[in-house]
Amino acid sequence: MTAIRYELARLRTVRATWGAAFGVLVVGGAATWVEARDLGEVPVQAGDAAQVLTAGAAGPATPLAALVVLFAAVLSCAREQRPTALPTLLLTLPRRSRALAAKVTVSAILGAVVAVLGLAVNGVVAASVFGPEFRALVWDQAPAPRVLLGYVVYLALAAALGVAVGVLARGAAIAAGLLAAVPLVIEPMIGRAVGLALPERFQDWVEYLPFNAANRMLSTGGTGLAAREGALVFGGWAAGALLFAAIVFARRDAR
């Protein structure tokens, strides 16, 4: 419990925490507003409306809010992972495994809380554009609950992945930028390369790339992994990164 309290107190003093919360609300609200204005009419299905609130696009796409959370989670590790600051952390929390577990737990919970707040803001924005008909949609009708829950899980896992990369890279801004570029640039390039170079039977491998899999949590149809499978694959990538980060952190010289 001491480790959890320490991490909560620390994150309150880190600008990346407040920047991420503000960024999720602003970026998500802006994306929802743009998409709602482009549609021009109330989505017919609750699932389509839920997708507008989460991805800001009528199709599986990496939410900009997830990129904000990733970037902030990496940067949040910058201060305490520096060689000059790490001894202070270890004096406060000598057990490195407990310190890392607290960091991941708190970051994931904060990511989920910010996701819920973001959905509320996005809902207000969409309702202001669409009017009463949008609020009257049947929100408990499938797949709307699954899409909304998928968004919360997405941001929680994104925060955990960002912490892993932040520990590995000591919170380097370049690492945060490269991680944010994965879903926007690197995975699409891999997909195109696989499409050109490999036989068709191997081309579905790209579905198991981390963000391609994660985006399936927000899908309402189409081919590819099921939403639950996408969550498991993305969670597996995050767990693998955390395991690697735990090994590196356990062996990191505190001097």
Whether residue 43 is predicted with pLDDT greater than 60 in this model: the reply is yes
Cβ-based neighbour number of residue 63 at 10 Å: 27
Whether residue 217 is predicted with pLDDT greater than 70 in this model: the reply is yes
pLDDT, the chain, mean: 85
Whether residue 237 is predicted with pLDDT greater than 50 in this model: the reply is yes
pLDDT at residue 55, as a whole number: 61
Tokens 């370049």 identify what position? 174
Measuring CA to CA, which residue among 255, 241, 232, 222 is closest to residue 84? 255
pTM for this model (two decimals): 0.90
Residue 37 banded pLDDT, cuts 50, 70, 90:
confident
Residue 57 banded pLDDT, cuts 50, 70, 90:
very low
CA angle 40, 53, 60 (to 5 degrees): 95
Q: Compute the residue count for the chain.
A: 255
pLDDT at residue 58, as a whole number: 44
